[in-house]
């Protein structure tokens, strides 16, 4: 009798798990089919190529219609002969022309809007009402501050800009410690800071994506932090550890149902997000992210000053963020660089809604790009830079 009492619940549990699995498979199929009509069709990095110095860069002379059906995005992206989402510009600056170089990630690249509506084009039209100007868009999707510094010294300075504006995104510190991310598909160079406080460029030449296939993530962490991060194995670089990707992990990561549940949970702060407590080791990693970012920004300023270029930092916001990382403003101030804080302005204009960005995406729409250009133009006018 006791055995029967034990078997019955187990059978019920097995039946429940079977039906739960069946429902999960059904939902996965529904989400995969519906994504063909409403999902994110365009690959974020479809217009990029591997680069052994920068990690990746825009493919010169390429063209793509960028589509995000859930967000209502449908725009044509064209890359010029020098690998920028811009008109072709000569290395030689035209006489009596103010040249501004914009460094940034996907917000500056602006794949979600037309070339006419991207921040660089809007800003150029505004300044050109006052004086002859060129605003060069050097944005590349997924770039961190480290890659933007490398681009500046390798390519950006060839344009002889009068002003360089670095668009800081909240995920830049994390990107600056990242060596490889499966969502990007490319490896990247990275900087470390010596005991003397000097930047050291590491990971160059950057290995091709095929060399890191099967890795879930590769980040620059200390050996003492290994126990905090599960399933680590050593990479070819002793300063880095890699998350080992087992088959179950790969299956979950590629699941539409998992991504949908993650999307929902991220919008419930009490379940997912800022209220979670960070461990001591993760706090140490965060401190390192900001320490490296601080040094890179300072080096950007140095590179600009050596060439008598004015340097400005612009904080990226879409008006929906809650709070601001406590590290950010002190890091900006420590560099001695003028900066523009925009979270309050965007928040006030949007009322905390997605009025200035695309739903289910977060990148600026036309209004967001227009407001960003307006804020920068007002700063340049107020400070006599134009």
Q: Is residue 4 located within the same domain as residue 127?
A: no
Q: What is the mean pLDDT of residues 90-109?
A: 97
Indicate whether 43 belongs to any domain.
Answer: no
Q: Which domain holds residue 14?
A: 1-38
Q: Is residue 262 located within the same domain as residue 197?
A: yes
Percentage with pLDDT > 70 across the chain: 77
In DSSP terms, which residues pair with 339 in a beta bridge?
313
Q: Is residue 184 located within the same domain as residue 331?
A: yes
In DSSP terms, which residues pair with 314 in a beta bridge?
167, 340
Q: Is residue 81 located within the same domain as residue 192?
A: yes
pLDDT in tens, 171-189: 999 999 998 888 788 999 9
Domains in the chain, number:
2
Q: Is residue 269 located within the same domain as residue 141?
A: yes
Q: Is residue 54 located within the same domain as residue 170?
A: yes
Kind and range of the H or E element at 38?
A: helix 2-38
Mean pLDDT of the chain: 84
pLDDT given at position 102: 98
Q: Is residue 122 located within the same domain as residue 199?
A: yes
pLDDT in tens, 11-49: 778 888 888 888 878 877 776 666 555 444 567 888 999
CATH code of the domain containing 216 = 3.40.50.1110
**Nearby residues of 183 by Cβ (< 8 Å), 6 or more positions away:** 44
Flag whether pLDDT at 196 surpasses 80: yes
Indicate whether 266 belongs to any domain.
Answer: yes
Kind and range of the H or E element at 101?
A: strand 98-103
Question: Residue 372: CA atoms inside 13 Å, Cβ hemisphere, count?
Answer: 31
pTM of the model as a whole:
0.82
Phi, psi values for residue 301, rounded to 5°: -65, -45
pLDDT band at 111 (very low <50, low <70, confident <90, very high): very high
Q: Is residue 282 located within the same domain as residue 180?
A: yes
Q: What is the mean pLDDT of residues 219-246?
A: 44
Contact 102, 120 (CB under 8 A): yes
Indicate whether 173 belongs to any domain.
Answer: yes
């Amino acid at each position: 009798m006791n055995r029967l009492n034990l078997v019955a619940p187990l059978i019920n549990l097995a039946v429940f798990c079977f039906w739960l699995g069946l429902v999960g498979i059904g939902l996965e199929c529904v989400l995969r089919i519906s994504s063909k009509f409403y999902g994110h069709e365009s690959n974020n990095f479809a217009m990029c190529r591997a680069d052994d110095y920068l990690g990746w860069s825009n493919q010169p002379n390429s063209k793509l219609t960028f589509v995000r059906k859930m967000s209502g995005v449908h725009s044509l992206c064209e890359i010029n002969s020098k690998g920028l989402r811009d008109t072709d510009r000569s290395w030689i600056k035209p006489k009596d022309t103010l040249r501004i170089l914009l460094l940034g990630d996907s917000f500056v690249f602006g794949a979600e809007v037309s070339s006419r509506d991207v921040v660089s084009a809007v800003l150029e039209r505004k300044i050109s009402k006052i004086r002859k100007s060129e605003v060069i868009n050097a944005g590349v999707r997924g770039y961190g501050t480290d890659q933007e510094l490398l681009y500046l010294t390798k390519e950006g300075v060839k344009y002889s800009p009068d002003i360089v504006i670095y668009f800081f995104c909240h995920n830049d510190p994390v990107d600056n410690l990242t060596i490889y991310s499966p969502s990007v598909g490319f490896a990247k160079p990275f900087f470390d800071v010596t005991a003397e406080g000097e930047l050291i460029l590491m990971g160059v030449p950057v290995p091709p994506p095929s060399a890191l296939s099967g890795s879930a993530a590769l980040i620059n962490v200390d050996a003492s932090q290994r126990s905090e991060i599960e399933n680590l194995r050593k990479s070819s670089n002793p300063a880095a550890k890699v998350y080992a990707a087992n088959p179950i992990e790969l299956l979950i990561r590629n699941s539409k149902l998992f991504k949908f549940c993650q999307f929902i949970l991220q919008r419930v702060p009490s379940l997912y997000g800022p209220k979670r407590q960070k461990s001591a080791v993760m706090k140490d990693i965060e401190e390192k992210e900001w320490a490296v970012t601080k040094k890179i920004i300072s080096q950007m300023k140095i590179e600009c000053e050596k060439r008598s270029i004015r340097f400005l930092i612009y904080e990226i916001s879409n008006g929906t963020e809650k709070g601001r990382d406590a590290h950010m403003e002190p890091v900006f101030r420590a560099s001695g660089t003028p900066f523009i804080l925009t979270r309050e302005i965007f928040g006030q204009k949007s009322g905390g809604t997605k009025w200035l960005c695309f739903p289910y995406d977060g990148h600026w729409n036309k209004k967001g790009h227009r407001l960003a250009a307006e804020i920068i133009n007002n700063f340049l006018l107020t400070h006599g830079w134009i």
